[in-house]
Structure 1
């Protein structure tokens, strides 16, 4: 049996190099928390995960389009019903616009209910001559720059588990209880298109409204549109947490990471022989891997060998984060290598992480026009090569923050400080998120 064909066990990652892991001061306490997590109920279920794999297989073929969105890093502080509702509302609005623009189903995936850990470029942070561990997300340590807050605490993984569970419960209530009714979602867009800054989208919105009236006149059963499928995802960064949340399905005997429907591996932890790849190679969830502009075809094919050796439909998503200046040059080489290999995968664009800059006022930010340019480049490359642009992956919030420059409301450098609330990376606000949806819908219309 080939090594790549051999069954993986949840513990196989422990023999591999593991990057971006917290340095916990109390190993015994870490073991106690991991044991506690293993005894707790799953957050998602195998049947839900299998349904997402089927939807991702459709996106591979161009029969669906993937929308992944949510916070850069969720915080315990903002884990409120209002914030969850606004974020969900924004994603549902975007999906309604994309569905109409593409005349195809949209696979709705939130960076929600688990995105509590973040990789960092350095293990420590220095301010005014004081050096402390870097903030790695609320499931690891606290954001305040104090020695007490910055010590990694395994108890925080239990807090993250509980908050993820309540978030998922609320999402299920909204998406199954009528809140996601297509008629309601459409009505939410009207305030957006009434803004003079978005005048050029008015005709598009009128088309949607006309289609809704036609369906009503034709006697369409709107009750069938009251519910939507919504899936949760996050970066599988904390190995102890993901390992503890791995369960064997009693129906099939397969292993599932029950912390989310979909997990992804970040650019900083995607070594094919490393721990994060080994862990996700052993579970049946659909998985993603983020690749930047330095990724070689050989590296990508090695990741496919480990994460989807048999080329199963819906299993693997490649999330490109190239930067607007490089995507048109770098992406074609990777696509050609994958096409020659023959095993299927879903291509999704992350136009956020390759375009981060620091404003002259010191705020980390991104420019809306640059984000859109990377999305355009992603579509242009796929259209040129005759391959499928499968989706987009964006960092967003349902709030009216001022963290990304530009957009129809023309946020400038001076306005960044008005509502700069992110704990790590800048996010699109509600209006900018919808603007992206209208732009991408036009691209999907050809």
Structure 2
């Protein structure tokens, strides 16, 4: 892949600079920012254009019901969390969930991590006040530090380079885990047998036994388990900080087309999907598969215009809509959007984010979510698509690989009094490892009923 680009292509890639760009930090040192951006522009790609093209094909399959997408990972990655154990545990949880979903869907599961780049977060307010002291809001480790001091909260462009290095290290380990035998289907299935052995998860034992019989059947038939020794795994994050995404955009030497090589898949969030904004303009010019988050206030006509901007040629796998409606609204709001887009002839991949529309503050003051609300939104998502005879293409989950106590409920029956025990997130609450697996079994049941 060449890092050289023709002047006309570069001019187009920089058109966003003349447009309003929401949720960008106020960098206090412009010279330091320019140095960080220049440094990033010299660094090797984190992913390759050909990998992005393969993922686009996989997402096209999901749009047609020939695959199912599992997108999962941290709400916001931290530099401190870029450790071997933390990365291993997240990968392990996603692999366990994917194995269950593969059986339920009877199709391949596209494994898409919210990792190796999810270091920046949009915020509702630019500042945070504690005890009469007001400081800049924490915008993720790519921008500033969570510690509530003036120095820690000052946006630091050098963190853009640190984010690249942490992402590079994460991807190196992800590739080792997914290609070196750790992801072997037999090993993953053994982990899941341990999950259902817990009496709290006994209701999922039947499905686990069905998977076990399927595994034994494949072995008896001489199935090539070596082909299941490794898996495809793709990276994704919100394309929020354009000062990070732009220098990591390169021209593919095969095609002469631009790719954002910071990740295989990038998405535009609910707060940055303005048709006339910098983010939509930027993603419309790169060749990666693109996601767009849609909340309950999304206007169907506006969504159609987004399709025209980002996917004017209606290319299979190019555009994914990640809906985040809330359990109480998904059945009322989603049908109109799906109907209008389907009637237009567009065929995006539909993914359900059941996390962001179900966040609230508990009585004890913790930002949390109810596991039952998460499940109900996924169920509503499936019901809408079944009614409209369209395809529910996947789920998008904020999760971790450890037993944190951040979301209420699940088989472990976490309640408000438990949240303080291991509330570790710096932004939004995540499903813990047990809740993630429980969700996978429940979604597998929904997929089995669909088929």
Separation (CA, whole Å) in 2 of partners of 1:213 and 1:333 = 45
Where does residue 346 of structure 2 map in the other structure? 343
Where does residue 278 of structure 2 map in the other structure? 275
The DSSP-based 3-state class of the residue aligned with 1:73 is coil
The DSSP-based 3-state class of the residue aligned with 2:271 is helix
Where does residue 215 of structure 1 map in the other structure? 218
The DSSP-based 3-state class of the residue aligned with 1:427 is coil
Separation (CA, whole Å) in 2 of partners of 1:168 and 1:105 = 22
Alignment of 1:111-260 (within 5 A): 111-260=114-263
TM superposition shift of 1:9: 2.0
How many residue pairs end up in the alignment? Answer: 441
Q: 1:12 aligns with which of 2, 12, 15?
A: 15
Length-normalised TM-score, structure 1: 0.98
Q: 1:45 aligns with which of 31, 43, 48?
A: 48
Where does residue 406 of structure 1 map in the other structure? 409
TM superposition shift of 1:78: 1.1
Where does residue 380 of structure 2 map in the other structure? 377
After superposition, give the CA deviation of every residue in 1:145-204 in whole Å (9 maximum; x if it has no partner). Answer: 000000000000100000000100001011111111110111110121011111110010
TM superposition shift of 1:436: 0.5
**Is it true that 1:284 corresponds to 2:287 in the alignment?**
yes
1:117–1:139 Cα contact (<8 Å) kept: yes
The DSSP-based 3-state class of the residue aligned with 1:170 is helix
Q: 1:330 aligns with which of 330, 333, 349?
A: 333
1:142–1:149 Cα contact (<8 Å) kept: yes
TM superposition shift of 1:417: 0.5
1:288–1:319 Cα contact (<8 Å) kept: yes
1:310–1:343 Cα contact (<8 Å) kept: no
Separation (CA, whole Å) in 2 of partners of 1:312 and 1:271 = 22
Q: 1:313 aligns with which of 307, 313, 316?
A: 316
After superposition, give the CA deviation of every residue in 1:350-385 in whole Å (9 maximum; x if it has no partner). Answer: 000000010011000000001111000000000000
Separation (CA, whole Å) in 1 of partners of 2:137 and 2:120 = 12
Separation (CA, whole Å) in 2 of partners of 1:317 and 1:223 = 32
Separation (CA, whole Å) in 2 of partners of 1:242 and 1:145 = 27
- Structure 2: gaps spanning 5 or more residues: 1-7
Where does residue 74 of structure 1 map in the other structure? 77
Separation (CA, whole Å) in 2 of partners of 1:338 and 1:332 = 10
The DSSP-based 3-state class of the residue aligned with 2:423 is coil
Length-normalised TM-score, structure 2: 0.97
> RMSD between aligned alpha carbons?
0.9
Separation (CA, whole Å) in 2 of partners of 1:44 and 1:258 = 5
Separation (CA, whole Å) in 2 of partners of 1:195 and 1:10 = 53
Q: 2:400 aligns with which of 397, 402, 408?
A: 397
Where does residue 3 of structure 1 map in the other structure? none
After superposition, give the CA deviation of every residue in 1:402-437 in whole Å (9 maximum; x if it has no partner). Answer: 000000010000000010000000000000000010
Separation (CA, whole Å) in 1 of partners of 2:361 and 2:140 = 21
- Structure 1: gaps spanning 5 or more residues: 1-5
Where does residue 361 of structure 1 map in the other structure? 364
1:71–1:427 Cα contact (<8 Å) kept: yes
TM superposition shift of 1:224: 1.0
Where does residue 296 of structure 1 map in the other structure? 299
Where does residue 100 of structure 1 map in the other structure? 103
**Is it true that 1:423 corresponds to 2:426 in the alignment?**
yes
The DSSP-based 3-state class of the residue aligned with 2:419 is helix
The DSSP-based 3-state class of the residue aligned with 1:113 is coil
